[in-house]
Structures are given as structure tokens and as C-alpha cells.
Amino acid sequence: MTIKEAIKHRHSIRRFKEAPLSDEVRAKLSALAAECSCDEVSIRLVCGDRECFDTFLARYGKFKNAYNYFALVSKKDQDTDEKAGYMGQKLVLKVEELGLGTCWVGGTYSKGKCKAELAEDEKIICIIAVGEPDEQGTKHRSKPMDKICTVKEEDMPTWFKNGVIGALYAPTAMDQQKFTISLDGDEAVITAGKAPFAKIDLGIVKYNFEAASGHEVR
């Protein structure tokens, strides 16, 4: 599966198979977590944690067997939400290529019960559930292009249109898609609207745009 296919194929998976992940799969996921970490955001794999999703909200959100997840961690005094979105989405698409399912989770888990090891000066930004899917899942409903983009479709360069399509496939918290894409000269610019988790969403959307268009975004 190419990264462009992964962008189209991905949708959130909240119900996973009961069986623990094999050592081989764990090793692959750990390696990807390390590969997608950076100076500001450390991504840590936690396996077999039966408490983190043992909350009313997680059950209400229909999570099942969500025992494995990546914790996205940064220093307490830094605002790294956008970077976390960017690096996390890179990871999500690589995991998709392995044939596993993921779901970004900012709210419906227990921060207090989360088993990721943290230093005194670190915080969890959000987590990403991961595992063998036990459901098909469904694609999210997307806004039309003209609701998220200031450029008319007929005026879009091909690379830009590919990026906009990739951005529309990106997961956003509560499926809000509150971002705006514009063109400044020959540079794409994406800005976040006001919404919970909007900066994480912004990083995710930027990653999808860049991967789908092959062009850097401001």
C-alpha cells in the first residue's frame, strides 16, 4: 500500500480483536513509534493496558478491546499540539500500511490510568489506539471543497487539488474539519479554526496535504 492509498483507505477503528499483539507486531510498532518521534514529541507504545479505556466515555464511544495505544508525550511547558498531530499522522499512515487499525483519542480515555511512563516535566497530549481491527469501520462524511478552501476548484493547480483531497480524508476531532486551505503565490497555507483539539487537527491535516500533494505547506 502506498501512502496515498493509506490516506484514502484509513478511517477510525474503535473495536479491536481480543488476542494480544504478537511480539513481531509489537516490535514493528515500537520501531515506528521511535521513527515518528522528534525532539518535541515522544511517541511511546503501551501494550496490554486494560484500564486506560475502562471509562464511561470510552464505552459510550464504543471502544472494544482497546488495550494497545501510542501515547504522544511532550514537555509540560511546551505547546506541541500541531507537531504532535503531524508526527502522529505520519505514524497512523505507516500503521495503516501494516494492515492494522487506529483511532486518534483526545477525550474518551483516562489520562489518570494511562500506563505511559512520564517524567515529572512531561504531559500526555493525546493517544492513538492501535490493533487488529474487529470491525469494518466507515468513512467520515466530508465537507465539500469550497467549505474548506478559498481557491475555486477550476483554478487549482493539480498538486494543490491533490493536497486538498488528501486533507479532506484527514481525521479531525469530532469530525469538525475546521481548517482553511489557501494559496499564497505557489505556496499552500493551512490555518486552524477555533475548536477543541484544533491545533492537533491542523498538524494532521498538514501531514495529509503534504503526503498527497508532494508539496510543503505553511
Ligand X SMILES: Cc1cc2nc3c(=O)[nH]c(=O)nc-3n(C[C@H](O)[C@H](O)[C@H](O)COP(=O)(O)O)c2cc1C
Interface residues with ligand X (CB under 6 A) are 11-12, 14, 61, 103-108, 126, 140, 171-175, 197, 200-201, 204
CB of 89 to ligand X, least distance (A): 8
Closest CB to ligand X among residues 60, 185:
60
Query: What is the Cα–Cα distance from 58 to 134, expressed in whole angstroms?
Result: 16
Listed residue (110, 127, 211) closest to 173, CA to CA: 127
CB of 198 to ligand X, least distance (A): 9
Cβ at position 125, least distance to ligand X in Å: 9
Q: Which residues of 19-38 are buried (b: 16+ CB within 10 A; e: fewer)?
A: eebeeebeebbeebbeebbe
Q: Are 89 and 208 in contact (CB under 8 A)?
A: yes
Q: Please, which residue, 148 or 173, has the CB nearer to ligand X?
A: 173
Using alpha carbons only, give the angle 3, 8, 14 rounded to the nearest 5 degrees. 105
| Residue nearer to ligand X on the CB measure, 26 or 111 | 111
DSSP annotation of 153 reads G
93: nearest Cα among 204, 215, 172: 204
Set of cell numbers at residue 101:
487499525
Least distance between ligand X and beta carbon 20 (Å): 22
Cβ distance to ligand X smaller for residue 33 or 125: 125
70 or 104: CB nearest ligand X? 104
In whole angstroms, the minimum distance from the beta carbon of 24 to ligand X comes to 26
Query: Which residue's Cβ lies closest to ligand X?
Result: 171
